[in-house]
C-alpha cells in the first residue's frame, strides 16, 4: 500500500527547475532511497515533503492527507519525521531536551496547565520521558543523555538527530544522508539501525544517500534523480546497472566499460 505519493511535482526557483515533473510513491513498510549526483534535487524533494518548499505544480499525499494543505509545523503530527543533511540540533540544550522536543507533537496539556505545572502536565512529562528513554536505549545514547549538543562529536550528533526523529514516533522517517561524514563502523551501525527501525518499529524509511554500499544493503527500492527528473526506479541492483544512471554519474564513455565488467559496483 502506498503511504507517500508524489504526483507530477514541479518546483522552480526563479528560472531554475529544481524538480521537474517527478512522480514517485513509497509503500508502507519499505526502505526507499533517493540517489543522484549533487544538485539533483534530492533534498529539495525532502523539503517539499516537510513543506518548507511549495511545488508550483503537482500533488503530495501522505496516507490520504493532502500535504500541500499543511503548514510545516503540522506535518509531524501526521507522522512524518526527518533529519537534516547538515545536522540541525538544538545546540544549547542537552541530548535529553533535544529528544523531548521530538515529543512535542504528542503533548496534550494546555498553556495554563504548563504555567502552573498542574493537571496532566507531570504525568505527561513522565510519559514523554519514558518514550524518549526507549529511543535512548535503542540507539545506545545513555552516556550522552545529559550532555550539551555543543560539545558532542559529529558522529554522535548524527545519532542524536536520528533519535530525535524517532522520538516523534513517526510512520514515515525521512533521512537526509544518514551516513555522510560517518566512519566505517558508524555507517555499519547506521545500517543495522535502519534495518531495525523498519523491522521492529514498522516505520517506513525514505532516505537520500550517496553511499551506494549502504543503499544496496538496506533499501528495497531506489529512485535515481538527475537535474530534478527521474532517471530510473527499481531495486538497488537494477538502478545501478541502468545506463542512464551510469551516464549521469560517470558520463557516456563509462557505459560500455561497465557492460564488460558486470557485477562490479559503479
Partner 1 sequence: MRFHFKTSYDQDIRLFPDWWNFSLYALLLVLLLVMPWLIDDFYLGEMTNVLIWAVAGLGLMILTGQTGLVSLGHSAFMALGCYLTVNFMDTGMPFLLAFVLAGVVTGVVGAIVAIPALKLHGVYLSIFTLALAILADDIIVILDHWTGGVNGIYAPEIWIFGFEINRWAMPASWYYLALGTALFVTLIYRNLLRAPLGRAFAAVRDSEISAQAMGVDVARTKTLAFGFSCAFAGMGGALMGLFAGAFNNETFNFLLAIQLLMMIIIGGLGFIHGAFLGAIVIAFLPQLLAIGTDTLGINSVPGLETGVFGMILIAFILFEPMGLYGRWLKIRTWLELFPFARRDMFRRQKTYLKTERLR
Judged by the rule CB under 8 A, the positions of this chain that interact with partner 1 are 47, 50, 52, 71-77, 81-82, 84-93, 96-97, 100-105, 107, 109, 111, 114-117, 121-122, 125-126, 128-130, 133, 150-151, 154, 157, 164, 168
Taking the C-alpha atoms of residue 175 and residue 208, their distance in angstroms, rounded to an integer, is 6
Q: Which residue lies nearer to partner 1 by CB, 109 or 188?
A: 109
Q: Compute the least distance from the CB of residue 204 to partner 1, in Å.
A: 17
C-alpha cell of residue 205: 524509511
Range list of β-strands (E), 65-130 = 65-66, 80-82
Helix axis angle for 121-138 and 95-102, nearest 10°, is 110
Residue pair 146/100 in contact by the 8 Å Cβ criterion? no
Q: Which residue lies nearer to partner 1 by CB, 46 or 240?
A: 46
C-alpha cell of residue 250: 560517470
Q: Compute the least distance from the CB of residue 163 to partner 1, in Å.
A: 12
Q: Compute the least distance from the CB of residue 117 to partner 1, in Å.
A: 4
Q: Compute the least distance from the CB of residue 54 to partner 1, in Å.
A: 12
Q: Which residue lies nearer to partner 1 by CB, 117 or 192?
A: 117
Q: Compute the least distance from the CB of residue 11 to partner 1, in Å.
A: 13
Phi and psi at 251, nearest 5°, equal: 95, 165
**Side by side, which strands form the sheet with 221-226?**
80-82, 172-176, 204-208, 31-35, 221-226, 229-234
Q: Which residue lies nearer to partner 1 by CB, 164 or 242?
A: 164
- What DSSP designation does 94 have? B
C-alpha cell of residue 28: 508502507
Alpha-carbon dihedral angle through residues 152, 155, 159, 160, given to the nearest 10 degrees? 20
Q: Which residue lies nearer to partner 1 by CB, 56 or 259?
A: 56
Q: Compute the least distance from the CB of residue 229 to partner 1, in Å.
A: 23
Residue pair 154/181 in contact by the 8 Å Cβ criterion? yes
Q: Which residue lies nearer to partner 1 by CB, 43 or 240?
A: 43
Amino acid at each position: 500500500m502506498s503511504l507517500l505519493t508524489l504526483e507530477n511535482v514541479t518546483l522552480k526557483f526563479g528560472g531554475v527547475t529544481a524538480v521537474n515533473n517527478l512522480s514517485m510513491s513509497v509503500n508502507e513498510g519499505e526502505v526507499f532511497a533517493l540517489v543522484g549526483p549533487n544538485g539533483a534535487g534530492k533534498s529539495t524533494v525532502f523539503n517539499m515533503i516537510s513543506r518548507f518548499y511549495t511545488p508550483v505544480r503537482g500533488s503530495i499525499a501522505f496516507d490520504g492527507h493532502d500535504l500541500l494543505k499543511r503548514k510545516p509545523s503540522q506535518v509531524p503530527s501526521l507522522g512524518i519525521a526527518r533529519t537534516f543533511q547538515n545536522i540541525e540540533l538544538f545546540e544549547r540544550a542537552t541530548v535529553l531536551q533535544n529528544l523531548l522536543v521530538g515529543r512535542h507533537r504528542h503533548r496534550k496539556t494546555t498553556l495554563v496547565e504548563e504555567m502552573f505545572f498542574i493537571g496532566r502536565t507531570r504525568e505527561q512529562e513522565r510519559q514523554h520521558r519514558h518514550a524518549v528513554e526507549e529511543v535512548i536505549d535503542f540507539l545506545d545514547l545513555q552516556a550522552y543523555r545529559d550532555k550539551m549538543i555543543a560539545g558532542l562529536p559529529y558522529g554522535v550528533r548524527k545519532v542524536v538527530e536520528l533519535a530525535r526523529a524517532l522520538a516523534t514516533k513517526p510512520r514515515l522517517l525521512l533521512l537526509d544522508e544518514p551516513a555522510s561524514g560517518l566512519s566505517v563502523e558508524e555507517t555499519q551501525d547506521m545500517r543495522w539501525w535502519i534495518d531495525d527501525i523498519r523491522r521492529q518499529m514498522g516505520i517506513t524509511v525514505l532516505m537520500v544517500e550517496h553511499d551506494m554500499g549502504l543503499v544496496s544493503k538496506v533499501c528495497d527500492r531506489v529512485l535515481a534523480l538527475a537535474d530534478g527528473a527521474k532517471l530510473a526506479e527499481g531495486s538497488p541492483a537494477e538502478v545501478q546497472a541502468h545506463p542512464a544512471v551510469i551516464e549521469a554519474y560517470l558520463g557516456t564513455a563509462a557505459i560500455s566499460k561497465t557492460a564488460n565488467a558486470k557485477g562490479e559496483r559503479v
